């Protein structure tokens, strides 16, 4: 796997280190199976800035004409990171079944569990432009296409 975490820069997205037992608790709490690659990354570092910080797209969005920003991956802790996805969905007036892995303010990237409980596609939500589109069929496909 290509280098993923930007470890040189301190990140407000990095949460307390966790183990596999905590991952199982989170999956139970959210009612989903998290992608294996996501779990491996979170065991290494529980959220933080990413080395490859962009994802290509030709879809209309408010970030850029040819990509979206992906500068951090959210980890989890009680009431923080992906654990606040249900409240965030409600606050942003987005559908239930989303697990937000990155984003702030008007642009969000989520694992989309609306149609499944495992192997979710990755979606992009641009609230300013009222856009929801699929970025990748899986978390692995998403990670593979990230670039600097």
In angstroms, the Cα distances linking 74 to 12, 99, 133 are: 10, 10, 20
Whether residue 25 is predicted with pLDDT greater than 80 in this model: the reply is: yes
What residue ranges define each of the domains in the chain, with the CATH number in brackets?
20-145 (3.40.1580.10)
Whether residue 12 is predicted with pLDDT greater than 70 in this model: the reply is: yes
Whether residue 50 is predicted with pLDDT greater than 70 in this model: the reply is: yes
CA 61 to CA 67: how far, in whole Å? 8
Whether residue 10 is predicted with pLDDT greater than 90 in this model: the reply is: no
Q: What is the pLDDT of residue 48?
A: 96
Q: What is the DSSP letter of 12?
A: T
Whole-model pTM? Answer: 0.95
Q: What is the pLDDT of residue 1?
A: 61
CB atoms within 10 A of CB 47: 25
Residue 8: band (very low, low, confident or very high) from pLDDT cuts 50, 70, 90: confident
Residue 77 CA, chain-centre distance (Å), reads 15
Summarize the confidence of residues 33-56 as an average pLDDT: 97
Residue 92: band (very low, low, confident or very high) from pLDDT cuts 50, 70, 90: very high
């Amino acid at each position: 796997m290509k280098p993923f975490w930007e470890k040189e820069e301190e990140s407000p997205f990095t949460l307390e280190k966790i183990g596999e037992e905590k991952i199982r608790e989170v999956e139970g709490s959210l009612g989903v199976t998290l992608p294996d690659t996501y779990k491996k990354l979170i065991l290494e570092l529980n959220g933080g800035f990413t080395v490859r910080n962009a994802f290509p797209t030709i879809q209309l969005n408010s970030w850029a004409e040819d990509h979206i920003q992906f500068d951090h991956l959210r980890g989890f802790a009680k009431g923080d990171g992906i654990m606040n996805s249900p409240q965030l969905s409600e606050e942003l007036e987005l559908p239930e079944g989303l697990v937000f892995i990155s984003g702030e303010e008007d642009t969000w990237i989520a694992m989309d569990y609306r149609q499944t409980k495992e192997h979710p596609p990755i979606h992009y939500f641009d609230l300013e432009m009222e856009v929801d589109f699929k970025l990748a069929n899986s978390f692995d496909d998403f990670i593979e296409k990230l670039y600097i």
